[in-house]
Amino acid sequence: MVRVPVQRQLPQRHGGHAIAVTIGGERLTVITGQRADGTLGEVRLNWGKQGSAQAGLGDAYATALSAGLQYGVPLADLLRPGLGLRFEPSGATDDPEVPWARSVADYLSRRLAIDWLPFAERTDLGVATLAERVQRAAGRIGADEPAHSHAHAAEAHPTKAHPTKGQPGNAGAAAPSGPRPTVRGLPAGMISAP
């Protein structure tokens, strides 16, 4: 027996949300539509001027995602090809959960995964928020050695514990000065200076 896929369109009035983001200096808006069961049912992308190549590319990509969703393709399978895809615009974003994107498709795939996939499925795709990556890294550091060992090592061997510029092992480079760098939303003490 041949199984024919059935299209599940959203009702005329439905829930969802919109996200405005800047990627590498370009502004775009992601609009999602939610089904009554709480799952993602539709994606729209507003990017560039109407009629431009950007607008056409964004609309085609979002329409392909929406068609896949309407015919029952799992969201993770739809997002996987967009992850890591590289084209302009790329770079820093103003979205604190996705601070860097390789392209609009990469950003859209990561944003949709964070918003609509369970943690286990996102982990399988390699998608994590900045806070989740920091938490995972802190857990690894804590699991490798006791928290107090770094302090004792620094007291016993200040040049060996964490060599910085200007200390032995770094060819006499100048010592860093000025405020310590921060990552959006994280205190300076949670990251180390380069």
Query: If you count DSSP H runs as helices and E runs as strands, how many of each does the chain have, helices first?
Result: 7, 5
Q: Are 20 and 27 in contact (CB under 8 A)?
A: yes
Helix, strand, or coil (residue 139): helix
Q: For the chain, what are the domain ranges?
A: 15-125, 129-164
Instruction: Report the phi/psi class of residue 61: left, alpha or beta, with left for phi > 0 and alpha for psi in -120 to 50.
Output: alpha
Count Cα atoms within 13 angstroms, Cβ side, for 91: 8
* 188, pLDDT greater than 90: no
> What pLDDT is recorded for position 110?
96
User: What was the pLDDT predicted at 67?
Assistant: 94
pLDDT value at residue 112: 96
CB atoms within 10 A of CB 18: 10
Sequence-ordered list of residues with C-beta below 8 angstroms from that of 110, at least 6 positions apart, any chain = 83, 98, 101, 127
pLDDT at position 78 is 95
Does the predicted TM-score (pTM) go above 0.85? no
Per residue in 64-113, pLDDT (tens digit) is 999 999 999 999 999 999 999 999 999 999 999 999 999 999 999 999 99
Question: Quick count: other Cβ atoms within 10 Å of Cβ 115?
Answer: 13
Q: DSSP secondary-structure letter at 80?
A: G
Banded model confidence at residue 5, pLDDT cuts 50, 70, 90: confident
pLDDT at res. 98: 93
pLDDT band at 143 (very low <50, low <70, confident <90, very high): low
